[in-house]
Amino acid sequence: MRIMLDHRILSRFHEPLMARTEGRHGWLEACDRDAERKAEALSDVEVHVGTKLGAGDARRAARLRLVHVAGAGHDGNALDALHPGVTVSTTHRHGRSIAEHVLMSVMMLSRDVLGAGRALRAGRWRNVAVDRGLPFGRTLQGRRVGVIGFGETGTEVARLCQAVGLRVRAVRRDPSAPVPADLRPDWIGGNDRLHDLLADSDVVVVTVPLGPATRGLIGPAELAAMGPESLLVDVARGPVVQEEALYEALRARTIGGAALDVWWSAPPGAPSRLPFHELPDVVRTPHHSGHTAGTFAARAEEIADNVNRLARGEPLTGTVRTGEARTAPHRVPTP
């Protein structure tokens, strides 16, 4: 098969990918090609590995059999433009990496790492020994973390938080779904209990995918339900949280702080049109909470295994759309 690898991070795992796939496939690294050269190559590609495939390219790929997204979110792919024979699969494997990032961010905010670091760079010691008015830092033991969404990332966040003494509660679409045996949440409710979770948590972690039901999910009323010392951590997608509402809550100090790994704008522009960088209690990172070697080594293995299943005619894992059987290559419609 002809396979296009159009992903800058996974291209660093090109050799393991090729070594794990069975058969003599033609691998084409395309992340450094311009749009025109990618479009030309797509007409002969059967598998596309990446995160973005626009409508024009999707229609042009007449021989395409599999779009394998190199992550969990498939919103960058024009699924409606793909011909019916294309299967779409996603891969995750980032739960532990993101959970560690969440815990790190909560500890940074709880111990004022940002403020202490800024002061020390300016030549000032900033701690309770030299400033009697400075609040003490907080430990994690016994504090309450509320997880919005309880998939791979949400359960890994709960697992790691539970291990260091945080008490866990969560809301999700189906509150009756099984819970991993090693987790002991205080409670799990449906999405209709979101406000209960916000009011009942010292830390709120957003892990839901972006979609019509979750866009703008956290707005002024939801932020108002949180306490003045509560922390918000968003490792899902920026637009799940309303940008202006969060900025205003942080500026007015109606919540205690935030950790933002996802944003409202894409590079190369600024991550937000609002000056979050001027706020004192915000941990800002460039959507890299899942960017560990372990995450992408595991993703490379899963993608290679799915390529092998496709070549053998076996069902694939992680499918979000199953292609219909076809007997002849799809023809690109004449404009």
Same domain flag for 184 and 269: yes
At 333 the pLDDT is 42
Same domain flag for 75 and 123: no
Same domain flag for 153 and 197: yes
Instruction: Give the CATH number for residue 32.
Output: 3.40.50.720
Conformation bin of residue 287: beta by default, left when phi > 0, alpha when psi is -120 to 50: left
Q: Is residue 330 part of a domain?
A: no
Q: For the residues 42-68, what does the mean pLDDT come to?
A: 94
Same domain flag for 262 and 202: yes
Same domain flag for 148 and 254: yes
Q: Is residue 104 part of a domain?
A: yes
Residue 260 · residue 235 · CB < 8 Å: no
Q: Is residue 45 part of a domain?
A: yes
Q: Is residue 84 part of a domain?
A: yes
pLDDT digits (tens, 9 = 90+) for 61-77: 999 999 999 998 888 89
Same domain flag for 166 and 41: no
pLDDT digits (tens, 9 = 90+) for 122-181: 999 999 999 999 999 999 999 999 999 999 999 999 999 999 999 999 999 999 999 999
Query: pLDDT band for position 325 (50/70/90)?
Result: low
Same domain flag for 204 and 106: yes
Query: pLDDT band for position 23 (50/70/90)?
Result: confident
Same domain flag for 169 and 182: yes
At 324 the pLDDT is 79
pLDDT digits (tens, 9 = 90+) for 256-315: 999 999 999 988 889 999 999 999 999 999 999 999 999 999 999 999 999 999 999 999
At 323 the pLDDT is 86
At 56 the pLDDT is 94
Q: Is residue 326 part of a domain?
A: no
Mean pLDDT score of the chain: 93
* Residue 246 CB contacts under 8 Å (≥ 6 apart), including other chains: 218, 223, 232, 258
**Per-residue pLDDT at 334 exceeds 50:** no
Residue 199 · residue 222 · CB < 8 Å: no
Query: pLDDT band for position 335 (50/70/90)?
Result: very low
Q: Is residue 184 part of a domain?
A: yes
The one-letter amino acid at 242: Q
Instruction: Please spell the DSSP secondary structure of 56-116, one letter per residue.
Output: HHHHH-TT--EEEESSS--TTB-GGGS-TT-EEE-----HHHHHHHHHHHHHHHHTTHHHH
Same domain flag for 138 and 199: yes
Q: Which of 68-82, 198-212, 321-335 has the highest mean pLDDT?
A: 198-212
At 326 the pLDDT is 52
Same domain flag for 102 and 32: no
pLDDT digits (tens, 9 = 90+) for 165-209: 999 999 999 999 999 999 999 999 999 999 999 999 999 999 999
Q: Which domain holds residue 81?
A: 2-93+293-321
Q: Is residue 327 part of a domain?
A: no
Q: CA-CA-CA-CA torsion for 261, 266, 269, 275, nearest 10 degrees?
A: -40
Q: How many domains does the chain have?
A: 2
Q: Which two tokens stand for residue 300?
A: 């490379």
Same domain flag for 128 and 272: yes
Q: What is the rounded radius of gyration, in angstroms, for the C-alpha atoms of the chain?
A: 22
Q: Is residue 53 part of a domain?
A: yes
CA–CA distance from 98 to each of 152, 161, 195, 201, 206 (Å)?
10, 12, 24, 20, 11
Query: pLDDT band for position 329 (50/70/90)?
Result: very low
Same domain flag for 145 and 257: yes
